[in-house]
Structure 1
Amino acid sequence: MEGEMAMKRRERIYVFVMATTFLGVMAPLLVGCAARGAMLNQQATAALESTETKNPAEYRIHPGDQMDIKFFFNPELNETVLVRPDGKISLQLIDDVQAAGLTATQLDEELTRRYAQELRKPAVTVIVRTFTGRQVYVGGEVGNPGLINLGLGMTALQAVINAGGFKDTARPGAVIVIRKGPDNRPIPVRVDLDQALDTESAEGDFPLQPQDIVYVPRTWIAQANLFVKQYIQDLILYRGISLGFGYQINPDTRR
């Protein structure tokens, strides 16, 4: 009996140490990360601005896009095609053509070059009808996380609203937008949507581009609650430990 009581005392001490260690270690880390985060955020924003300048927003074809291929002098070859998952399209008279990753103009030029071997006047026009690549992903503490269609001029706040809005556990002031930068490197930027919510202007909001990722984190309170649930409450339920709160949960009698 005394051995069992001693074991439970050791377990109570272990749980207490785990909880205090979590709170004691995370607080100074968060303070330090805030200063570093501000500097990194400035660098990331500058990198994104540089990316936008170097890469105009001309749409690039994606798998799943639907396109009309029209031949001015050979209308019998006109087709409506769907870009396959491997990024290629199948057309008459020529082999498969890689379309994904190209702009409509670039694909037009490639088809003109390929059909020059088959037609006397290969005047080709490419018209993209559906744009599966114009989507963004919204995840984290929102009502309906997932892909949404990117409307003209859509911002991070508008994307969150389209994804069902913020949950009660959301932290709007620390939203992260991730975008592909140079060499396809992901560039994260912290966006304070609390500021956008508190003002009638777009100040604090962030304009999105195709394939951006918008992540809404939990509040620190929600994270702490999750920690308590996963590492303390579950341990209590599993071990049957009493923490002196006036009750004891015994795993052998739970239903």
Structure 2
Amino acid sequence: MFDRRQILWTMGAALLAYSTAGCASGQAAPRSQRVERADFNDIAFADWTEAEPEYLLYPGDEIEVATPTATELTRTLRVGPDGRIALPLIGQAMAADRTLAELEYELSSAYASQLVRPVVEVTLKTAGPVKVWVAGEVRTPGVYDLIGDSDAYQAIVQAGDFLPSARSQQVALIRRGPGGVRMMRVVDLRPRRGEVVALRRGDILFVPRSTLGELANFFTQVRNALPIGFNYSINGQYQQF
């Protein structure tokens, strides 16, 4: 069982994917779903868009790292729980939280001292499980693998369903948008009366007890508890905080 600080570290891992502030282009959410900037002080959210961000590698993804000029070095690898892969000649390299192009560039640079023509091509073979974070007024907050095409309410059910104190009609959905910006919208997840909201990898659902003003405190706690580096390995059982 993890203590409260470890739980916050785990929640913080998702937030690191949203650490770049800015604005995203695209269709904004309806005004009723927007977040007033004054409610969150210095927490900046971009306008909501359904546009897909560039794919970031994640632990559990299977990739092929091909070296056309030295085919004996080509490997099919699975990104480890710590986000790393191991390659001949250069050893371990961080793959998680990188785009395919970024990883190609980093590996080509690493091979520069080993190969005359350090050309590297990275291909995603199989995506790993889609993980989402559920926090707040649910019975078992934590990180969950989505089962099939699960929607937001189904993720709440995986987390033990709402507590009686939950404000289920004002759930915050936080998502990484194009360019790495962080976006938030408010969704109504009341059973049989709410919205059907498709989730994406890395989404965060925060269920408040009273008002969304609690989200500001949640962000402050997470940011204060972040470890220096990105650690994907924190997992296991979670207790409510």
TM-score, normalised via structure 2 length: 0.53
Partner of 1:175: 171
Residues 67, 58 of structure 1: CA spacing in aligned structure 2 closer, same or farther, 3 A cutoff?
same
Residues 185, 65 of structure 1: CA spacing in aligned structure 2 closer, same or farther, 3 A cutoff?
same
1:125-136 correspondence to structure 2 within 5 Å = 125-127=122-124, 129=126, 131=128, 134-136=130-132
Q: Per chain length, whose mean CA-contact separation is higher, i.e. which structure has more relative contact order (CA < 8 Å, sep 6+)? A: 2
Paired residue secondary structure (1:218):
coil
Q: Does 1:216 align with 2:216?
A: no
Q: Which amino acid aligns with 1:127?
A: L
Partner of 2:192: 197
Partner of 1:232: none
Give per-residue Cα distances to partners, 1:140-178, cap 9 Å, x unaligned. Answer: 232332111245654321211222222333332122222
Unmatched 5+ stretches in structure 1: 1-37, 221-255
Give per-residue Cα distances to partners, 1:189-221, cap 9 Å, x unaligned. Answer: 221122x622xxxx723332322211223369x
User: Residues 166 and 172 of structure 1 are in contact (CA less than 8 Å); yes or no, is this contact kept in structure 2?
Assistant: yes
Larger radius of gyration: 1
Counterparts of 1:64 and 1:159 in 2: how far apart (Å)? 20
Structure (1/2) with the larger helix percentage:
1
Cα deviation, residue 102, structure 1: 1.8
Partner of 1:161: 157
User: Residues 63 and 122 of structure 2 are in contact (CA less than 8 Å); yes or no, is this contact kept in structure 1?
Assistant: no
Residues 182, 105 of structure 1: CA spacing in aligned structure 2 closer, same or farther, 3 A cutoff?
closer
Counterparts of 1:75 and 1:215 in 2: how far apart (Å)? 47
Counterparts of 2:118 and 2:197 in 1: how far apart (Å)? 47
Cα deviation, residue 114, structure 1: 4.9
Counterparts of 1:125 and 1:180 in 2: how far apart (Å)? 23
User: Residues 58 and 79 of structure 2 are in contact (CA less than 8 Å); yes or no, is this contact kept in structure 1?
Assistant: no
TM-score, normalised via structure 1 length: 0.50
1:71-220 correspondence to structure 2 within 5 Å = 71=67, 74-79=70-75, 80=77, 82-83=79-80, 85=82, 88-94=84-90, 96-112=92-108, 114-115=110-111, 118=115, 122=119, 124-127=121-124, 129=126, 131=128, 134-150=130-146, 153-180=149-176, 186-194=182-190, 197-198=192-193, 204-218=195-209
Matched residues, percent identical?
31
Counterparts of 1:181 and 1:81 in 2: how far apart (Å)? 25
Counterparts of 1:121 and 1:181 in 2: how far apart (Å)? 32
Counterparts of 2:202 and 2:70 in 1: how far apart (Å)? 36
Residues 141, 99 of structure 1: CA spacing in aligned structure 2 closer, same or farther, 3 A cutoff?
same
Unmatched 5+ stretches in structure 2: 1-29, 37-44, 212-241
Residues 81, 206 of structure 1: CA spacing in aligned structure 2 closer, same or farther, 3 A cutoff?
closer
Counterparts of 1:158 and 1:130 in 2: how far apart (Å)? 21
